[in-house]
């Protein structure tokens, strides 16, 4: 992460602990006196939340992977334009629960859309805009899904897929991390929440230099 850069995304499989860690990091940064904007994908604006309902609802197969990709980028475009870029321009930290890697992983590598097509769409919509740092929360898919099932909430259509799909998403995240070590940090997400949080903070402090 370059000095002063503050856009951080959290990625990984279902139940990996992204939301939990974003809350802990957001609390820490606010206590340090920083403005923090927390957002999620798909979602984060009124319209993008409507897209979220559309794309997560129903059963697997409701949308083709290409249709999902287009919906994700429509929502992402508005989120970046109206929330994320203005927040970064004000000097806020932006913590995003998923971002573009999710499309590359779920619709690209695991969903079957050719990855060069996903990259081309990203360039068309966002140019070279990307997070400064991405934490890839890595967990055995069975462990993550156990956490999701124990939450007693209705499952979305991505949480009703077969084990092979989750294995492909995990492999894809690890491949992205390997290809982009400057941006991506793999976090062992099976540890206790406070251990995971300390690990994340260590990486941020190292990369953010004098900012924290």
Q: What are phi and psi of 204, to 5 degrees?
A: -65, -45
Compute the CA torsion angle 169, 199, 132, 87 (nearest 10 deg).
110
21 vs 42: CA distance, rounded Å: 18
Put residue 52 in one of left, alpha, beta given phi > 0 → left and psi -120 to 50 → alpha.
alpha
Cβ distance to ligand Z5A smaller for residue 28 or 211: 28
Closer Cβ to ligand Z5A, 2 or 50, answer by number? 50
Q: How far is the CB of 168 from ligand Z5A (least distance, A)?
A: 12
Length of the chain: 212
Q: Minimum distance from CB of 210 to ligand Z5A (Å)?
A: 30
Tokens coding 70: 């287009």
Distance CA 210, CA 202 (A): 13
24 scored as a contact of ligand Z5A (CB under 6 A) = no
Name residue 39's beta-bridge partners. Answer: 96
Among the residue ranges 95-103, 127-135, 177-185, 204-212, the one whose residues contact ligand Z5A (CB under 6 A)? 95-103
Q: Of 109 and 158, which has the nearer Cβ to ligand Z5A?
A: 158
Among 39, 96, 103, 134, binds ligand Z5A (CB under 6 A): 103
Q: Which is nearer to ligand Z5A, 3 or 116 (by Cβ)?
A: 116
Give yes or no for residue 93 binding ligand Z5A (CB under 6 A).
no
Restricting to residues 182-201, which ones interact with ligand Z5A according to CB under 6 A?
192-193, 196
Q: Which long-range contacts (CB under 8 A, 24 or more apart) does 86-92 make?
A: 87/35, 87/37, 88/6, 88/7, 90/35, 91/6, 91/35, 92/6, 92/34, 92/35, 92/36, 92/37
Residues touching ligand Z5A, count (CB under 6 A): 26
Q: Hey, which residues between 27 and 86 contact ligand Z5A (CB under 6 A)?
A: 41-42, 56, 68, 72
Q: Which chain residues interact with ligand Z5A by CB under 6 A?
A: 14-20, 41-42, 56, 68, 72, 98, 102-103, 106-107, 147-148, 151, 156, 158-159, 192-193, 196
């Amino acid at each position: 992460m370059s000095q002063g850069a503050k856009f951080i995304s959290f990625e990984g499989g279902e139940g990996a602990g992204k939301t939990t860690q974003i809350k802990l990091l957001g609390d820490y940064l606010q206590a340090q006196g920083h403005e923090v904007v927390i957002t999620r994908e798909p979602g984060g604006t009124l319209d993008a939340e409507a897209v979220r309902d559309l794309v997560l609802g129903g059963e697997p197969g409701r949308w083709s992977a290409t249709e999902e990709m287009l919906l994700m980028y429509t929502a992402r475009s508005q989120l970046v334009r109206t929330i994320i870029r203005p927040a970064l321009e004000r000097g806020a930290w932006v913590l995003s629960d998923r971002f573009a890697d999710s499309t590359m992983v779920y619709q690209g590598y695991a969903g079957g859309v050719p990855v060069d097509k996903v990259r081309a769409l990203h360039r068309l919509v966002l140019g070279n805009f990307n997070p400064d740092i991405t934490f890839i929360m890595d967990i055995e898919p069975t462990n993550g899904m156990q956490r999701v099932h124990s939450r007693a909430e209705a499952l979305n259509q991505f949480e009703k897929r077969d084990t092979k799909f989750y294995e492909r998403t995990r492999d894809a995240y690890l491949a992205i991390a390997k290809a982009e070590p400057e941006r991506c940090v793999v976090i062992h997400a099976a540890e206790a929440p406070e251990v995971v949080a300390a690990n994340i903070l260590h990486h941020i402090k190292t990369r953010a230099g004098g900012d924290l």
